[in-house]
Amino acid sequence: MKIEKVSVTYGELRSGPGFTNTKHEIMLQAQLEPGENASTTKQRLHELAKMEVKKLFGDDTSQTELDIPF
């Protein structure tokens, strides 16, 4: 089977004050060029989609989860 296109959909549903729910979702697609790996492309699209959804919620995306002190 030849994979020519990769699509990723990522979304989050968050509860806010007053029992309000907000959902942001994004879908990204990539056309594979000869020699590109579908799995690597899917992983990169997932990372980009997750970052974009976090931006939509107003999260600070300059820190990674490992950088946030507990």
Q: Where are the domains of the chain?
A: 5-56
| 38 within 8 A of 3, measured Cβ to Cβ | yes
> What does the pLDDT read at residue 26?
97
Helix (H) or strand (E) holding 26: strand 21-31
pLDDT at 10 over 70: yes
Q: Is the alpha carbon torsion for 36, 3, 42, 49 positive or negative?
A: positive
- The pTM assigned to this predicted structure is 0.79
pLDDT tens digits, 23-68: 999 999 999 999 999 999 999 999 999 999 999 999 987 765 545 4
> What does the pLDDT read at residue 65?
52
> What does the pLDDT read at residue 70?
41
Q: What end-to-end distance do the CA atoms of the chain give, in Å?
A: 46
